[in-house]
Structure formats: C-alpha cells, structure tokens
Amino acid sequence: MAGLFEKFSNLKPSEIATHKKESLEWFRANLKKLGTSKNTLRNEGTRVSTYEMGDMYLMSYDAKYGDVMPYYDRYPLVLPFEFTNNGFYGLNLHYIAPRYRVALLEGLYETVDNDDMDSGQKFRFNYKLIKSVSRLKYGKPCIKRYLTSHIDGTMMKVDSKYWDVVSMLPASDFGKVNTNTVYADSRKQF
C-alpha cells in the first residue's frame, strides 16, 4: 500500500521534479481537494532518533518557554542547518505562506549537489547564506532554535523526493493563533 506522501507525489504535475514555481503552486492549490488529517501527515516518513543537517523532518515539539511565547509551531517542518550543544538551528517552513515556501525552496535547491532528488540529497546552507543571499530572504523568519529535550517522541525524516510535496501540506499547529497571523508577522521580516 502506497504511503500518503507517495500518493500526493503521484498527483503532482511532472514539471514539479524540476522545481518549477508554477507547478508547485498548482500542486498546493489542488492539495486542498484531497483532504487528509494532520495526524495522518505526522505519521508519514521514516522515524529517526537523530537528525542530520540539510535533511527535512516533521516532529512534535513543546517549546521550553511556550507558555510565554505569543505562538510556536507544535508540529514543525524543519530543515536543520547548525548543531548546538543541546539541539540545533533550523528553518521551519511553516512560518511562511506556501507561496514564499515555493520561492525559498527554489533558492535552496540551488544548494543541492545535483538535480536528482531521488538520491537522498541534502540542502547545503548556513545562517550566513540565509541572511545574505536575496533569493533566500524568505528563510529569515523561519530560523528557529530547537532543543533536543523538547522534541516529543521521534522525528519523521522526509525523503528528499517528497520535499516539494510535504512543504505544501497543512501540518502546522500554532495553537490558538491563526496561521495568517503568523504569516503576517513573518512578512515583516522579509
């Protein structure tokens, strides 16, 4: 039986393999018609207990100071890019609207060694690159620090061939705050 990511992947236009902005937007627009629950999305992928820089992960997260924060994503879709002594810094794509995710991913795909996303490629970027390269400007509000001790359960590693698909899926949870509020706050940082 095919997994959810594979089913979604089979529905995308063939041009998405070359990361064309128009096809990613088409795919995002058509995802709403498919309907699925967030819990189903969170159980997809490969369960891992450790993370690697440049991969994509879905996870459940309980922020250390979540009770005093205006909001945080309880189910981040994160691309770790720098280790810390007790966790990592990563880009959480849920902090920006899907149209900006498309643009950010377009820029990040230029950091991958080759165009064959089926071969387990990794993004290659760092904080300095995100802050200095204009085509990656949408990543600025996505930079978040994650503490390993606050990851609930295991992380789900997303295979590189599904990055486009998963980045468009509605898996975020900002608690009582509407995602449009989060997107508006993030746009102020571009």
Domain boundaries of the chain, sorted by first residue:
19-187
Which pTM does this prediction carry? 0.79
Q: What pLDDT sits at residue 131?
A: 85
Which pair of tokens denotes residue 134?
């204009």
HSE of 52 in the Cβ direction (CA atoms, 13 Å)?
12
Phi–psi pair at 180, nearest 5 degrees: -65, -30
Plot region of 45 (φ>0 → left; ψ -120 to 50 → alpha; else → beta): left
Q: What is the pLDDT of residue 28?
A: 54
pLDDT score, position 154: 75
Reported as half-sphere exposure (CB side, CA atoms, 13 A), residue 70 has a value of 6
pLDDT at 168: 81
**Per-residue confidence (pLDDT) for residue 17, from 0 to 100:** 46
The residue type found at 142 is C
Query: What is the chain's pLDDT, residue by residue, as a tens digit (190 residues)?
Result: 345 455 555 554 444 444 445 545 555 555 444 444 455 555 566 777 788 999 999 999 999 999 999 999 999 999 999 999 999 999 999 999 988 998 898 899 888 866 555 556 788 898 998 988 888 999 999 999 999 999 987 788 888 888 888 888 878 999 999 999 999 999 999 9
Q: What angle do CA 31, 76, 36 make, to 5 degrees?
A: 30
The pLDDT value recorded for residue 123 is 87
User: How big is the chain, counted in residues?
Assistant: 190
The 3-state DSSP class for residue 5 equals helix
CA distance 167 to 155: 16
State both tokens at 55.
């991969």
Distance, first Cα to last Cα, the chain: 42
pLDDT number for residue 91: 97
For residue 21, give Cα distances in angstroms to 77, 127, 178.
Answer: 20, 24, 26
Secondary structure element (H or E) that encloses residue 23, with its range:
helix 21-34
